[in-house]
Structure 1
Amino acid sequence: MNAVLPPELRDDVRTLWDYHDLGHELRRCDVGVGLGGHDLGVATHTAELFHAGWFPRIVFTGANAPTTVERFPRGEAVHFRAHALELGVPDSAVLLETRATNTGENITNTRDLLAAQGISAREVMLVSRPYQQRRAYATAKKLWPEAEFVCSARPLPVDEYVADIGDPDRVINMLVGDTQRITRYAELGFATPQEVPTEVRAAYDRLVAAGYTSRALPE
């Protein structure tokens, strides 16, 4: 049986899902950055974008988190690269950043890696989980202000994504955590401020009240 969202939560989950989908129009970039995490679909989508000609080079970035170490014991970036090579991406087109343990480090370490390699990256495509787009964009704009960014993720409706991941609670908790971080990280100076519409705040509050806080930062 496919994993499904609880019907009473679906509207609020979709509200947060749509908020984090930036809907950027793709344009050719100097590099595509596949942000590590538990979702191997990020590597799949990065390979698809590479084959479509949107960028000539890939950086996969990510070490491990407690939620990924069992699935990707050699590190997120290493497993993402191996998957991309299986999908026909040439080894020569891939760089690895294997130390980052959060999105800020994904951005700064990738920036520094490209600079050390003498690679100019003025136009960067951030490839992430669908609900990570807004936070990744806000973080990159803060930490790498000299570059321009386009965000992309697998174009899946939330119900299809939940079925693919197979764990509705995990997806809802991640959505709640990323929504909280939009405001909190801007307050801490880690990211640029983003508008949070009233309906998004209300949906977030209801999901928090329903107990979906395992990925939330302490208040």
Structure 2
Amino acid sequence: MTTDAQWRDAELIWDYHRMGHEARPCSVAICLGSHDLGAAAFAARQFHAGLFPLLVFSGGSSPTTAGLYPRGEAVHFREHALDLGVPADAILLEPKAGNTGQNIAFSREVLREAGADVESVMLIAMPYMERRAYATCRKAWPEVEVVCASDPLDLADYVKSIGNEKLVIDTMVGDMQRVIEYPKSGFAIAQEVPDDVRAAYERLRRSGFDSRLIALE
């Protein structure tokens, strides 16, 4: 269990990861694969709300999701969306991506092959992945307008939906590291990180919420 101070730090980082974009109609949507099938359900709701006519599910398998989705994240996400009434002809599948940069690059190629005219993209992901997805897309596909969207849950409700507090906070801390470090490698645009958010990240990292950190050279 987290301490009260650690939970406050986690909430700071959670709030920072959320971009706060207003939902508006887009040319297409890309739903990024993950362990959280809720992203697919949210994508289905946004489709039924008329916010985009075409939806790409992107993602292969990772060590975290191989047991959950043995045929790959995108395949299982697509099946869930079909069960929720999204028509098959409104869905494109990108089943190979192994990271966020590939989610964007491979989905862009799938859309090109489908002849889609893309001026704007709604990126749908886990709530705490919004900022990293945004930064990656702005770097890899700068000519499109990017709108980030995710299930509008607070941290407590999201943890309850996943059922693993440590996993959620570890992954948020890992995403925070990538927001800070990836621009140095050219993987994403740089974004301002407020001092209090950076301090919260450092405290959580030092406290052992570190299983999703990457090794830095």
Name the SS of the counterpart of 1:124 in structure 2.
Answer: strand
Q: Partners in 2 of 1:82 and 1:117 — Cα distance?
A: 20
Aligned equivalent of 1:69: 66
The aligned runs of 1:1-150 (5 Å cut-off) are 6-150=3-147
Aligned equivalent of 2:194: 197
Contact 1:31–1:125 (Cα < 8 Å) also in 2: yes
- Equivalent residue letter for 2:120: E
Q: Partners in 1 of 2:3 and 2:96 — Cα distance?
A: 37
Structure 1's unaligned 5+ residue stretches are none
TM-score normalized by the length of structure 2: 0.98
Deviations 1:134-177 (A, max 9, x none): 00000000001111100000000000000110000000100100
Aligned equivalent of 1:166: 163
Q: Partners in 2 of 1:100 and 1:58 — Cα distance?
A: 16
Once the two structures are overlaid, the 10-residue window that deviates more, 116-125 or 102-111, is: 116-125
Q: CA deviation at 1:65?
A: 0.3
Question: Across the two proteins, how many residue pairs are aligned to each other?
Answer: 216
**2:178 equivalent to 1:181:** yes
- Equivalent residue letter for 1:168: E
TM-score normalized by the length of structure 1: 0.97
Q: Partners in 1 of 2:208 and 2:148 — Cα distance?
A: 30
Q: Partners in 2 of 1:63 and 1:209 — Cα distance?
A: 31
Q: CA deviation at 1:5?
A: 5.1
Structure 2's unaligned 5+ residue stretches are none
Q: Partners in 2 of 1:109 and 1:147 — Cα distance?
A: 15
Judged with a 3 Å threshold, the aligned counterparts in structure 2 of structure 1 residues 17 and 131 are, in CA distance, closer, same or farther, namely same
Judged with a 3 Å threshold, the aligned counterparts in structure 2 of structure 1 residues 172 and 93 are, in CA distance, closer, same or farther, namely same
- Equivalent residue letter for 1:173: D
Deviations 1:23-73 (A, max 9, x none): 101111011111000000000000000000000110000000000000000
Q: Partners in 1 of 2:15 and 2:101 — Cα distance?
A: 23
Name the SS of the counterpart of 1:10 in structure 2.
Answer: helix
Name the SS of the counterpart of 1:141 in structure 2.
Answer: helix
- Equivalent residue letter for 2:172: L
Contact 1:5–1:162 (Cα < 8 Å) also in 2: no
RMSD: 0.9
Once the two structures are overlaid, the 10-residue window that deviates more, 195-204 or 113-122, is: 113-122
Q: Partners in 1 of 2:157 and 2:134 — Cα distance?
A: 24
